[in-house]
Structure 1
Amino acid sequence: MDLTSTSRENIEFMIEEIKGKLQIVNAGALKAQSFDTDQYEDLHEIYEMIMSKSSFSVSELDAIISELGKMRKK
């Protein structure tokens, strides 16, 4: 998938991959619809970082979830 272009489809793909990789229990709290295309580059950076790592500490998970929460639409 070409993630270099900003699209709703790419946001949905990245969010689903992030939820899977982080094994998010409450997946309903992280919905692709909650993210604007204005934040695409930031979301893509987080996605790339998450996909590049094999495991995460508890503090890393907290920081990632917190950052994603800040990016969500109000």
Structure 2
Amino acid sequence: MNLNEESRENVVFMIEEIKKKLQVVNGSVLNPDSVDMSRYEDLRDIYDMIKKKNNFSVSEMDAIAVELGRLRK
């Protein structure tokens, strides 16, 4: 999968991977359809950062949630 290409399919993939990595209990809060495509690069940055880390502190999880919330339409 080429994540350099801005596509809805890539957004869905990244959101699903983020949910898995962060062990999101209520996955409906991260709806790929609500992501503004003009913020694709921001989502990609979050995805890349999350994939590099194994563990997240509570404050990091909160910050990630805030940033993901900003990507919504």
- Asked if TM exceeds 0.5, the reply is yes
1:45-64 pair list within 5 angstroms: 45-64=45-64
Q: Does 1:32 align with 2:32?
A: yes
Residue correspondences, number: 73
The 1-side partners of 2:48 and 2:60 are apart by 15
- Tell me which amino acid in the other structure corresponds to 1:13: F
Structure 1: segments with no counterpart, 5+ residues: none
Could you say what the CA RMSD is over the residues aligned between the two structures, in angstroms? Answer: 0.6
The 2-side partners of 1:72 and 1:4 are apart by 20
Q: Does 1:12 align with 2:27?
A: no
Identity %: 59
1:36 CA drift (Å): 1.7
1:65 CA drift (Å): 0.4
Which residue of structure 2 aligns with residue 66 of structure 1? 66
The 1-side partners of 2:70 and 2:3 are apart by 22
Structure 2: segments with no counterpart, 5+ residues: none
The list of structure 1 runs, each at least 4 consecutive aligned residues, that deviate by more than 6 angstroms after superposition, is: none
